[in-house]
Amino acid sequence: MPKIKTAFFCQNCGNQSPKWVGKCPACNEWNTYVEEVIHKEETGRGSWKSNSGATKRTNSPRKLQEINFEEHPRLVTKDAELDRVLGGGIVPGSLTLIGGEPGIGKSTLMLQIALILNQTKVLYVSGEESESQIKMRADRMKHHSDHCYVLSETNTQNIFQQVEAVQPDILVIDSIQTLHSKHVESAAGSVSQVRECTAELMKFAKETGTPVFLIGHITKDGSIAGPKMLEHMVDTVLQFEGDRHLSYRILRTSKNRFGSTNELGIYEMRSDGLREVANPSEILLSQGDEVLNGVAIGAMLEGNRPLLIEIQSLISPATYGTPQRSSTGHDAKRLNMLLAVLEKRGGMRLGQQDVFLNVAGGMRVDDPGLDLAVCAALLSSYEDSPISSGMCFAGEVGLGGEIRAVNRIENRIAEADKLGFKKIIVSRYAVKGVDLSTFGIEVIPVSKLDEVYMRLFS
């Protein structure tokens, strides 16, 4: 009987050590080393073997000028949001990792993609749900496909046997933490198992040109569970975000070897699956006709995508001694800075006032271009006077009360123009060299908060 070989792995970064250490020398985290069995069988090593069925690529070197990537075009899905995030469609032979909180809708998204690709053969492998449970979820969706195959399996060797039999065009794994390989004698979800299973799937994807989607769990701090090496191995890393108590979900790109990392897709979770939100600005704005105090519309950027979002504020006298400063969806420290600027430069007396700020739609924003909209909402609530419903704002506010320029102002103006706004207040320094005659909206350049106040309430 061969001797069992073990080693210690860091559960945070995947670093290997022959003995246990308290502090990881690679990531400086404490008490993250766990002993795992690393004895591997020498026979049958390599996991993925193209014995039959799937076509294996040759590995002969070619001149760079002779390589034509148009021979393998992207697979364009019927999901415009996913295509945008991936950079124009699914790249053959790519390995894509999708992470998100439990219950956010990762499995629903991938099953829906498998169903809408009704002309593409998709193998959906689940290690967490039975085939009947997947069928129940599919019945709720308004899509049908005769080329979607479902397999409930966790052993990678059995999965590759079925892959050779089915020969799918796309492979979906739900989830990578549930798979285990017989070549590694440790529990599923461990560092060595996740690394080995991912390596096997990567080898399969690159040799056959089959796109592979991996669904991954995340830790309590929001990072994808498993070694950090997992994110380095894959081609694309997508984050599926949102509040489970709200209906909207955001698909972000944190790594993309085939496109931009600044794109994002927005979905609405419904009983029959995920609905693409083509124009998110309309859902982030109030649908009521009544103009309220303390409400301002700001033009922001989420990646490369311009959005108009509603900022709500409420200023009221403090009745419990210490004034409250509460912010939902917006950085609380930045709110305190803007309040200090309004007190020092704008003459507002907020020392005995409670201040509440809310970003409508449940989104979290960090674009400094929303500073002007936040200040306008606070001024409106303080003066108890509403802002015209046809006006929006785009600008950063400095400590001296100056209105600073923000990037890609043309996209922000164009988005406000498209949604029917009549006026937009921007920084005077942002419109230098911009041809404003191409827009149907009135652009009002300002340089100080005093000018903004005069425009709003004079």
DSSP 135: H
* Closest-CA residue to 149 (of 201, 106, 111): 111
* Closest-CA residue to 352 (of 391, 375, 318, 313): 318
Does the N-terminal peptide bond of residue 175 adopt cis geometry, omega within 30 degrees of 0? yes
Instruction: Name the residue with tokens 């005077």.
Output: 428
Does 101 belong to an annotated binding site? yes
Does 105 belong to an annotated binding site? yes
- Pairing type for strands 170-174 and 212-216 reads parallel
| Cα distances (Å, whole numbers) of residue 305 to 85, 198, 301, 414 | 11, 32, 6, 12
- Cβ contact 284:302 at 8 Å: no
- Cβ contact 439:419 at 8 Å: no
- Cβ contact 42:2 at 8 Å: no
Task: List residues bridging with 454 in a β-sheet.
Answer: none
Does 164 belong to an annotated binding site? no
349 burial via Cβ count (<10 Å: 0-12, 13-18, 19+):
exposed
- Pairing type for strands 248-256 and 95-100 reads unpaired
Does 226 belong to an annotated binding site? no
- Cβ contact 413:441 at 8 Å: yes
Does 273 belong to an annotated binding site? no
DSSP 448: B
- Cβ contact 18:8 at 8 Å: yes
CB proximity list for 228: less than 8 A, separation 6 or greater: 12, 13, 14, 27
Cα gap 449→453, rounded to integer Å: 6
Does 100 belong to an annotated binding site? yes
Does 390 belong to an annotated binding site? no
Cα gap 37→24, rounded to integer Å: 19
Q: Hey, CA dihedral for 297, 423, 397, 368, is it positive or negative?
A: positive
Does 448 belong to an annotated binding site? no
CB proximity list for 77: less than 8 A, separation 6 or greater: 83, 89, 90, 113, 116, 117
Binding site, residues? 100-107
Residues annotated within the binding site for ATP are 100-107
